[in-house]
Amino acid sequence: MHKIESRIITPKNGLRGEFVVPGDKSISHRAIMFASLAKGESHIRGLLRGEDCLSTLSAFKSLGIEVVETADDELIIQGCGLAGLKEPHDVIDCGNSGTTMRLMSGILSAQPFFSILTGDQYLRKRPMGRVIDPLTSMGAKILGRNNHTKAPLAIDGGGLKPVDYHSPIASAQVKSAVLLAGMHVDGETTVFEPHLSRDHSERMLRYFGADLESFSGGARVKGRVELTGREVVVPGDISSAAFFLVAGLIVPNSEILLQNVGINPTRSGIIDILQLMGGSIELTNQRELSGEPVADLLVKSSDLSGIEIGGELIPRAIDEFPVVSVAAAFAAGVTTIRDAKELRVKETDRIAAMCDCLGSLGVDIVPLEDGMRIVGGKPLCGGEVNSFGDHRIAMSMAIAALNATSELKILDSACTETSFPGFWELLNQVSKG
Ligand code: S3P
């Protein structure tokens, strides 16, 4: 659990620099999980050491997985195969991490032992019915608070059968939980989703040797096919790069090169959105790392205009809407974000949080049931805002403050450790050019 701190950000004149952002959070979780479930040794480089991924790592240690961290920042995991996990001695604490809790629910539902998953005050409020329902339809026995919809979750694992599941939401966590459960049982498990959510699980499971097929509208996995340990190189997190992309665009006289950023098309909606707003972002040095596309991103200050955002762009940029709303506050005209009801059940209600934070700096922003409407282009004043314990709200407001008329104090700022260790130091470094 991070400390409660506050930070003061002063306006800046031009941002400069070339740097790499920390490893991708989604890919790091999956690298730890799939390496643990594989047979043999895996070597992982570039892993994100944020609190969320450390929760996943300690969860697997408590399930009997041996992990060695080398001096040159490589993680070596001795996988135990699909049937090798051991019953944990204690409750597993997922901290703030929805990905840990939901994907672990899928894995643990299939294990022939008892386990309990809990999390911090924010995670215990988030909806877990979305994974409990499909897993229960596979035969899982999961109990939870609030009529079996909230953590702590008690899982009496084993005895599953395959399923064809039509998910009502585009959620990579739901899709992954069901596929991971399906990997442990005889037969084929299929998940259909209304829009394609991030496909890191599908890519990496195939990379580890799973018999998994992606098709338009979903993915199908064949059960009881063992994974084999591999070498994984984790690319930089586009969701972390997003803060510096917006910073580079809204602070005049800026030019920033972000190296080695993952640009998986199911995640790169932020680049499309910012380019549609008129942002100058150039992709160079495109290549592939362990089955994931990566590139260097060059961003330059730009005059932005408001746009309408909805439909398939939403899941492709789902974690970036706090910082998109900051870009919109600096864009001429109106930006409307729709079809994004999911923002209400992230680490916090991100629609309410951004309306509160940007509204208090004088931005004309109104919440919609499934998004927000922002009239941009007026100067933002400084003052004081609360992150509500949400890492992406804290970082988005730090970016807004770079081009405000006076300094901004951000309360509860240490939550950035969840996904972006070193964020404040990096912000300081680019500010000095
Ligand atoms: C994640 C999926 C997304 C995202 C979250 C990480 C993942 O949630 O918001 O931060 O790693 O699978 P959904 O399950 O709603 O797609």
Q: What pLDDT was estimated at residue 3? A: 65
pLDDT in tens, 289-337: 999 999 999 999 999 999 999 999 999 999 999 999 999 999 999 999 9
* SS3 per residue for the chain: CCCCCEEEECCCCCCEEEEECCECHHHHHHHHHHHHHCEEEEEEECCCCCHHHHHHHHHHHHCCCEEEECCCCEEEEEEECCCCCCCCCCCEECCCCHHHHHHHHHHHHCCCCEEEEECCCCHHHCCCHHHHHHHHHCCCEEEEHHHHCEEEEEEECCCCCCCEEECCCCCHHHHHHHHHHHCCCCCEEEEECCCCCCCHHHHHHHHCCCCEEEECCEEEEECCCCCECCEEECCECHHHHHHHHHHHHHCCCCEEEEEEEECCCCCCHHHHHHHHCCCEEEEEEEEEECCEEEEEEEEECCCCECCEECHHHCHHHHHHHHHHHHHHHCCEEEEEECCCHHHHHCCCCHHHHHHHHHHHCCCEEEEECCEEEEEECCCECCEEEECCCCHHHHHHHHHHHCCECCCEEEECCHHHHHCCCCHHHHHHHHHHC
User: Does pLDDT of 2 surpass 80?
Assistant: no
User: Does pLDDT of 4 surpass 80?
Assistant: no
Gap from CA of 408 to ligand 1 centroid (Å): 29
**How large is the average pLDDT for residues 38-56?**
98
Gap from CA of 348 to ligand 1 centroid (Å): 14
Gap from CA of 99 to ligand 1 centroid (Å): 6
Structure tokens at 242: 């997003």
Ligand 1 pocket member 99 (CB < 6 A): yes
Does 3.40.462.20 match the CATH number of domain 25-233? no
pLDDT in tens, 350-359: 999 999 999 9
Of the pLDDT bands very low, low, confident and very high (cuts 50, 70, 90), residue 39 is very high
Ligand 1 pocket member 393 (CB < 6 A): no
User: Does pLDDT of 339 surpass 70?
Assistant: yes
Q: What pLDDT was estimated at residue 72? A: 82
Q: What pLDDT was estimated at residue 414? A: 97
Ligand 1 pocket member 97 (CB < 6 A): no
Gap from CA of 171 to ligand 1 centroid (Å): 6
Q: What pLDDT was estimated at residue 421? A: 97
Q: What pLDDT was estimated at residue 310? A: 98
User: Does pLDDT of 1 surpass 60?
Assistant: no
Of the pLDDT bands very low, low, confident and very high (cuts 50, 70, 90), residue 73 is confident
pLDDT in tens, 153-180: 999 999 999 999 999 999 999 999 999 9
pLDDT above 70 covers what percent of the chain? 99
pLDDT above 90 covers what percent of the chain? 98
CATH 3.65.10.10 domain position(s) in the chain: 6-23+235-431, 25-233
Ligand 1 atom, smallest distance to 169 CA = 15
Q: What pLDDT was estimated at residue 433? A: 67
**How large is the average pLDDT for residues 45-73?**
96
Superfamily of domain 6-23+235-431: Enolpyruvate transferase domain (3.65.10.10)
Task: Name the residue of 26, 323, 341 to mutate for ligand 1: max ligand atoms within 8 A of Cβ.
Answer: 26
